[in-house]
Structures are given as C-alpha cells and as structure tokens.
Copies of this chain bind each other. A is one copy, B any other.
C-alpha cells in the first residue's frame, strides 16, 4: 500500500475507468489492474465491482477512497511541514540539457527537487547535448545533463546518472542507402551522418577505425541528435545516436537499428557542474536531492 497505489485508486474511484487512469499515471492497464487487486487483497474485500464492461465502487471501495484521501493529505501536510525549513531556499537554477534528456531523465530528478524546494525557479535550456559542458564552463547555466567526455577537465564536478547505449540506425524506407545495406558492401561507401562534435562523434571515430575500411563517406554533419535521427529517417544515410533519442523521436517508425555492427561504447550520462560552484546553496541542494 504505497502512496502511488493510493493516488491511482483515488483517481480510479473518480473516473471509474482503468485504461484512462492507467494512462494518467503512466502505467499499463494490466499494471493498474494488478495494483488494485493488491489493494483489495490487503483490505480483504473487493473495492470495485466490475462486470467486465463497467466499474462501480463497492461500499468498501467508498470507505477506502476516503481513507486513501486522508492518507495522502497527511503525507502532504508532512511534506509541507518538513519543507518549511528548506523552503527558505529560493532563487533561480539554470539547467541545460538535450531535448531528449528533458523528456527521459530530467523529470524524475526535478520532481523531488521541486517538492523539497518549491520556491526555487527552474530555468531550463535545451540544445545540442554536445554543447552542454561549454554552457557550464562559461557559466551560462548552473549545471547540465551531459555525457561524460573521455577527458573531463578538472574544473568540472560530475555525478553519474545512467549508461546510455548507442545504436547505429538506418532508414526504413526504400532508398539507395537501404539497398546498399541489403547487399555486400564496404562501410566506406555508405553515407554517414554525424554530429558536428561532442562525445558521440568521438564514439563514431573509434567505432569506424575498428572496421579498417578506409575513410568514412560522411554525407553530412548536424548539430543535435534529434536532427540526426530526422536526417536518417529521410534516407540520407546511417548514423550513430543514443537509443533513447530514437525511442522519443516522432520519426522512430521510420528508422531501424542495425545489429551486428560491432560494439559501441555507451555514454556515461550525468549531472555536471563547475567544481567552484558546487558549494552554492542551490546547486548543493540539487545534488543532495538526487543522490
């Protein structure tokens, strides 16, 4: 009986609709169904009568709903009371990250921080992941969600978040590139699309050198992984990007992963700030909230 389950139940009791409630909470309907089953088992009686088409609250369900709301309210009160001290902290916090990271990795980090420091204003700048460290260095932002380069200058403080696997992607559509890949081919003949700079480019160079097939046929260089996926989807060539960028891309149906093309070392994604500023109250509080 955790808070998430209670929230879901409260919402479900309002909407009386599993699918919608599940979507609202970013879980699959089956998960929600099982969560409710767990609750029912815990209290020892069924909370909802469902006849496979409609859902209504049982008497126990109504009581449970009130209970759940009370519990959640008390939790909120506790939060408020505990955060009063921390709430003194206020100001602006500038964050830089890629569009993709903003979707995939930032939300859970910010959620806790915002809860603990509601008065702090978050300013989010999105852009090419490769520019992240530069932004931090020139103090345009307080910190960035960034991939760790092989050589990380001493001036930075880096906190590990996750490993980001890279993949080689190719267009799904019928085009010249597609046909080349179908046949026997030399990598030096395949047009390749690359990031202008940054760790992803480094990864590519390392990977291509291993193939020992001469010079790469670079079709274009772009800034920003998101744009790179689009280029590939349009059939311009193949590219290397983080899988998570593809998953969140609106054109993900139009690219395929190439398998058996050799290992590509994954990114190490993390939160990066200047060492000199890591003791500033806001930045310190942020690192505190994510560790």
Q: Which of B3, B44, B67, B78 contacts A67 (CB 8 A)?
A: B78
Chain B contacts of A158 at CB under 8 A?
A: none
How many copies make up the complex? 2
Let me know if A45 is at the binding interface, CB within 8 A: yes
A44 adjacent to B112 (CB under 8 Å): yes
> Is A60 close to B, CB under 8 A?
yes
What 5 pairs across the A-B complex have the smallest Cβ distances? A67-B78, A44-B116, A60-B82, A1-B2, A2-B2
Q: Mark A33-49 against chain B: 1 for CB-CB distance below 8 A, else 0.
A: 00000000001110000
Taking the closest CB of chain B, its distance from the CB of A180, in whole angstroms, is 51
- Chain B residues, CB < 8 A from A60: 82
Asked if B82 contacts A74 (CB within 8 A), the reply is no
- A70 in contact (CB, < 8 A): yes
Q: Is A74 within 8 A of B67, CB to CB? A: yes
* A115 contacts B44, C-beta separation under 8 Å: yes
Q: Is A71 an interface residue (CB 8 A)?
A: yes
Say yes or no for A125: interface residue by CB 8 A criterion. Answer: no
| Across-interface contacts of A112 in B (CB, < 8 A) | 44
Most buried by B among A70, A82, A115, A116: A82
A86 to B2, CA, bound (A): 25
Show 28 residue pairs from A and B whose CB-CB distance is below 8 angstroms, ordered by the A residue.
A1-B2, A1-B3, A2-B2, A43-B78, A43-B79, A43-B82, A44-B82, A44-B86, A44-B112, A44-B115, A44-B116, A44-B289, A45-B82, A45-B86, A60-B82, A63-B78, A63-B81, A63-B82, A64-B78, A64-B82, A67-B74, A67-B75, A67-B77, A67-B78, A70-B74, A71-B71, A71-B74, A74-B74
> Roughly how many angstroms separate A252 CA and B81 CA in the complex, as a whole number?
51
Residues of B within 8 A of A43 (CB): 78-79, 82
